């Protein structure tokens, strides 16, 4: 069957995976081998030189990871994919592959805290500079381009404010200036958004989130042109030792089979929760691309095939109100991650985005009252009941202040 013609739900199950030729086993085998035997010296040399496909040493890949990489490449409509040890390994690896000393990066403003930290702490030690720019403003992006700019780094929807960026328009602008466009597609997954089809050059993922979807694996992916991925495999992942392992690859292969079912449920419940919160008197503001009040709602509808499972919102009353609300939750858990079956809630200013200085954080919209809510797969009415009881104490404050 022709893989490229499959609809997404079929590709999630079958792309890159065949029953085992020897045993007929349908589920993928976990191949933990580090060493691979060759029939003669020339065969080994051809694989090392990249003249022949094959696995030769576990730090550069492995057969279980190879089927997962084939699946991810096919889902993202890319030529090739590289599985790595974390989302941050994917982000740092992809950036390092396109940058050298003296180069400059334009990065969208409210980006994942770890990406911000890499670009502002480690990258400058190797002579790489970054400007954080409001990428909803094309003129601002244009003004930020310097002769030494090499990469435009985007995250859309952004973490945590769910800002939507126009991947097609930004890619056209970037390409006109010779820049490589890298997009973090963690929040959407290829199920809802395919940045390469929209014009980006490279997609990065934290597979720790929705792709694996069960909160039990840390992993990342880079997807792009075959040559670039091959370079990253040999010279970035291989040299820095950021490889994925076979067992985690197997868990992601298993998790991916239900990605469609999970994402559809996450989107439906998140939409209900966003509407509930928007009408609640203790809530100052809701960020969810599916709401008509979202500043890039129309763009989101064009660019994404669903609005995702993350809802961010500001409670009235700042830090103290945020803490009271979060500490009062009984079903949702206070946690750093997202994209799991469990509803997970976190406070960006003191948790995931703590590395960003407070002045800059505020400018990025990450206020002390902001909360990021990763809608789980529990029954939506139970999640809303939990929100209702945890917001109750805030109503008294709202009444007394207003
Ligand atoms: C959007 C986004 N990108 C990247 C990462 C980093 O992923 P990992 O924890 O797998 O390194 C995260 C983690 O929260 C994230 O939310």
Counting residues of the chain whose pLDDT is more than 70, the rounded percentage is: 99
- 130, 50: one domain: yes
- 236, 293: one domain: no
Cβ(170)–Cβ(181) under 8 Å? yes
- 229, 288: one domain: no
Of 207, 223, 256, the residue at which a domain comes to its end is 256
Counting residues of the chain whose pLDDT is more than 90, the rounded percentage is: 87
- 320, 338: one domain: yes
Domain that holds residue 265: 259-401
297/349 Cα distance (integer angstroms): 25
112/162 Cα distance (integer angstroms): 11
> For 354-363, which contacts have Cβ atoms below 8 Å and span 24 or more sequence positions?
354/113, 355/113, 355/114, 355/116, 355/117, 356/113, 356/116, 360/132, 363/109
Active-site annotation, residues: 59, 112, 184, 209
**For residue 244, what is the domain's CATH number?**
3.40.640.10
- 124, 223: one domain: yes
283/397 Cα distance (integer angstroms): 12
- 351, 204: one domain: no
**Which residues are within 8 A (CB) of 21 and not within 5 positions of it... i.e. 6 or more apart?**
none
The pLDDT of residue 3: 55
pLDDT at 374 exceeding the cut of 50: yes
Question: For residue 26, with 0-12 CB atoms within 10 Å meaning exposed, 13-18 middle and 19 or more buried, which class applies?
Answer: exposed
- 74, 208: one domain: yes
Of 256, 280, 313, the residue at which a domain comes to its end is 256
- 175, 267: one domain: no
- 394, 273: one domain: yes
**Which residues are within 8 A (CB) of 143 and not within 5 positions of it... i.e. 6 or more apart?**
none
The pLDDT tens digits of the residues spanning 153-202 come to 999 999 899 999 999 999 999 999 999 999 999 999 999 999 999 999 99
The pLDDT tens digits of the residues spanning 224-241 come to 999 999 999 999 999 999
Q: Please, what is the average pLDDT of the chain?
A: 95
Cβ(105)–Cβ(128) under 8 Å? yes
- 165, 39: one domain: yes
Beta-carbon neighbour count of residue 191 at 10 Å?
25
Place of tokens 């042109």: 225
Cβ(182)–Cβ(108) under 8 Å? no
Tell me if 85 CB under 6 Å of ligand 1: no
**For residue 372, what is the domain's CATH number?**
3.90.1150.10
Cα of 246 vs centre of ligand 1, distance in Å, is 20
Residue from 84, 85, 88 to probe ligand 1 pocket by mutation (most atoms less than 8 Å from CB): 88
The pLDDT tens digits of the residues spanning 324-347 come to 999 999 999 999 999 999 999 999
Q: List the residue whose alpha carbon is closest to atom 16 of ligand 1.
A: 112
- 303, 222: one domain: no
The pLDDT tens digits of the residues spanning 101-142 come to 999 999 999 899 899 999 999 999 999 999 999 999 999 999
């Amino acid at each position: 069957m022709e893989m490229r013609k499959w609809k997404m739900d079929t590709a999630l199950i079958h792309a890159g995976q065949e029953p085992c030729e020897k045993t007929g086993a349908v589920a993928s085998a976990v191949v933990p081998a580090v060493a691979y035997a060759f029939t003669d010296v020339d065969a080994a040399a051809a694989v090392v030189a990249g003249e022949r496909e094959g696995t030769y040493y576990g730090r550069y890949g492995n057969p279980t990871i190879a089927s997962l990489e084939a699946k991810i490449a096919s889902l993202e409509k890319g030529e090739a994919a590289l599985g790595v040890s974390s989302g941050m390994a994917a982000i740092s690896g992809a950036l390092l592959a396109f940058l050298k000393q003296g180069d400059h990066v334009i990065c969208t403003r409210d980006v994942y805290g770890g990406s911000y930290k890499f670009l502002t702490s480690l990258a400058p030690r190797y002579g790489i500079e970054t400007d954080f720019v409001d990428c909803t403003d094309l003129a601002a992006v244009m003004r930020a381009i310097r002769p030494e700019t090499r990469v435009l780094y985007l995250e859309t929807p952004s973490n945590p404010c769910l800002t939507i960026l126009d991947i097609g328009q930004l890619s056209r602008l970037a390409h006109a200036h010779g820049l490589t466009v890298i997009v973090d597609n963690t929040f959407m997954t290829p199920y809802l958004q395919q940045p390469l089809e929209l014009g980006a050059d490279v997609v990065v993922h934290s597979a720790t989130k929705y792709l694996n979807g069960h909160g039990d694996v840390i992993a990342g992916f880079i997807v792009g042109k075959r040559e670039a991925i091959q370079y990253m495999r040999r010279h970035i992942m291989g040299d820095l030792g950021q490889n994925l392992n076979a067992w985690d690859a197997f868990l992601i292969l298993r998790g991916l089979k239900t990605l469609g079912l999970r994402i559809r449920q996450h989107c439906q419940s998140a939409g209900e929760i966003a509407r509930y919160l928007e009408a609640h008197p203790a809530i100052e503001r809701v960020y969810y691309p599916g709401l008509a009040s979202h500043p890039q709602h129309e763009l989101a509808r064009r660019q994404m095939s669903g609005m995702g499972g993350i809802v961010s919102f500001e409670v009235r009353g700042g830090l103290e109100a945020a803490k009271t609300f979060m500490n009062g939750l009984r079903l949702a858990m206070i946690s750093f991650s997202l994209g799991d079956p469990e509803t997970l809630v976190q406070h960006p200013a003191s948790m995931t985005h703590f590395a960003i200085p407070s002045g800059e954080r505020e400018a990025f919209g990450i206020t002390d009252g902001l909360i990021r809510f990763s809608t789980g797969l529990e029954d939506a009415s139970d999640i809303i009941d939990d929100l209702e009881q945890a917001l109750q104490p805030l109503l008294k404050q709202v009444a007394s202040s207003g």
